[in-house]
Amino acid sequence: MSAPFVLFRDDVAGHDLLFESPAEIIVAETADAFFPAMDALERARRAGKWLAGYFSYEAGYLLEPKLRPILPEGRRTPLVCMGVFTQPSERTLPTPSPATNGPIFEARAAWSESDYAERFARLHQHLRQGDCYQGNLTFPVRAQWSGTPLSAFEALVERQPVKYGALVSLAGPAVLSRSPELFFDIDAEGWIETHPMKGTAPRGRTKAEDERQKRFLRNDEKNQAENRMIVDLLRNDISLISEVGSLDVPELFRIETYPTLHTMVSRVRAKLLPDLTIERIFAALFPCGSITGAPKIRAMEILRQLEAVPRDAYCGAIGWVSPTGPMRFSVAIRTITLHENGEAVYNVGGGVVFDSTAEEEYAECLLKARFATGTVPASG
């Protein structure tokens, strides 16, 4: 396949969804272009077209009027980048070939442990003052990449199989995602489901140690509290666009296992109000509370002061919209932006609560960064 295209890959189910040859690419680089782009997306959907691509994290500043004045400058990915397609093709995945070594290399975290500790202390002061009760503090990891975006994507598949893998090669830099987290899925009957992911533990070196790590995570009050905060936040967000009495939490604190870590996942489900536009859905839900903190707006204001550069595609949403109602977006974590100059950028972060420590949170961030190279990045 050749650009422009959007590829979604479910390694667990063993199939992918490919969008090729867009009739149009709808892109908003600036704040002034954002809402006209949202209108264009809605017109295309109502005209019977499929949409596929991504929203950058900073689009959330525009969807919330209180945050528009603090929209970060210096963004390197579009606020929204979506292709307009006739339909996708679905296919069964071939047996994966052995992973290619080294498509992402020379990785270095932008913050040293002391850099992180300084910002952690400022965030923790906000927690002590009651300004917020969780903040998802993140920072970039900068690396180099080689080959093509597709070869880089395929090289990472075997390292960490996920349900929501994606590669967007439309306009601007390519965006490669190995996300395990569902932002939301809307089915043909108008039911929406979201799977907030919060709480992690490293894999054990032996089977017995691995089981101990899973039990620890499942029963740890701190991780449960972090997860429950985000569940409550998402329940509130979804309630803005769902039918009264339909909201449910069918599952709390399920443990999912990946090659480098265990993570805690819950489920929130509701029946949507009829005839919602894409803009209204995103205005209620975006960005996902699992990557902001709570309360969402205040957490985003605080994080804007602490994080030196825009998150760009990281912590945004990658997905597709069908003309008949269903749509699915992942949370753009474990996501790498591949720039044409050979630079690769992927952020890492985690939820900070009152009883968090800077040392443990920074170590967790570096653990999460292993998805790209298989090793912890150099620091600072």
Q: Tell me the catalytic residues.
A: 181, 198
Question: Any bridge partners for residue 145, and if so which?
Answer: 104
Name, in order, each residue with C-beta under 8 angstroms of 238's C-beta and a sequence gap of 6 or more: 192, 194, 247, 268, 270, 284, 285
Phi, psi for 219 (deg, rounded to 5): -105, 0
Q: Which of 81, 75, 73 is nearest to 34 (CA)?
A: 81
Question: Cα 139 vs. chain centroid, distance in angstroms?
Answer: 14
Which residue shows structure tokens 């992180």? 116
